Amino acid sequence: MNLTRPCGIIVILFAMLGIDSTSATKIYNVLNFGAKPNGETDSTKAFLLAWQAACGSSECTMIYVPKGRYLIGSVAFRGLCKSPHITFRIDGTLVAPLDYRVLGKNTNWISFGGVNGVSIVGGALDAKGSFLWACNIPTLTVLLEPRIHRLKSLNSQMFHIVINGCEKVHVQGVKIRAAGNSPNTDGIHVQSSKNVNIIKCSIKTGDDCISIGPGTKDLWIERVICGPGHGISIGSLGRNLKEEGVQNVTVKNNFCGHSKRFEDQVMG
């Protein structure tokens, strides 16, 4: 597999970027495209319109999501983009529909594919997974990619973050939360990817905190808090002869802890 191509994400960043970061960055506020921060009005189209504007610009761009709750259905943000760098700055919360069947008709909730130079900064994703866990029906994976910084993923219906077919991904300061008895809610899943760093993250979920699948190479995991959860696992390998193995995984200074004070020390 050629991992130099743009990431193909299956779905959710570095120092926090200010909204007035530089005059060279063109800002697209989702409110100007019709998004409603009330958590009830479907804002999927507004987010897509903001993405199309940012993607089509020849400048560095920022899609800005102000405080509030934004109802988002299944959405795919695709390239190829003219913009050399797109920052998704989220100060609010993206909320999935209460009816899990809406997302069950699609492969993913939020996905990015065929793009380079994308950062996702701050905010939260609330996938309303508890409505699905009771039925134990696998329906979607939440997918995100290259730079993920200080994002919070809540109650994913299945995997929270999946990194698939990507290179040079940096995940830092991410918090993942799901009930300790929630099924198949792996925190971060990595497969068919190279040079992935997962640093200073706090993962509390019902399945693996970090799961490592076929084709993973040069993975660095450091100062990750896990609990509740099943820890860090390498598995489901060798199901067919064409599947790649796992190479060069480093796990360093990780912790099992629960207190906020301990979490602040690890992630600070």
Contacts of 248 (CB under 8 A, 6+ apart): 217, 218, 219
Distance between CA atoms of residues 140 and 142, nearest Å: 7
Map residue 170 onto helix, strand or coil.
Answer: strand
Name the β-bridge partners of 175: 152, 202
Distance between CA atoms of residues 28 and 33, nearest Å: 9
204 in Cβ contact with 174 (< 8 Å): no
Residue 189: active-site member = no
Distance between CA atoms of residues 160 and 189, nearest Å: 8
171 to each of 10, 104, 156, 162, 242, how far by Cα in Å? 16, 27, 18, 11, 29
Q: Of the listed 149, 160, 230, 258, which one is catalytic?
A: 230
137 in Cβ contact with 157 (< 8 Å): no
Distance between CA atoms of residues 209 and 226, nearest Å: 6
Residues known to be catalytic? 230
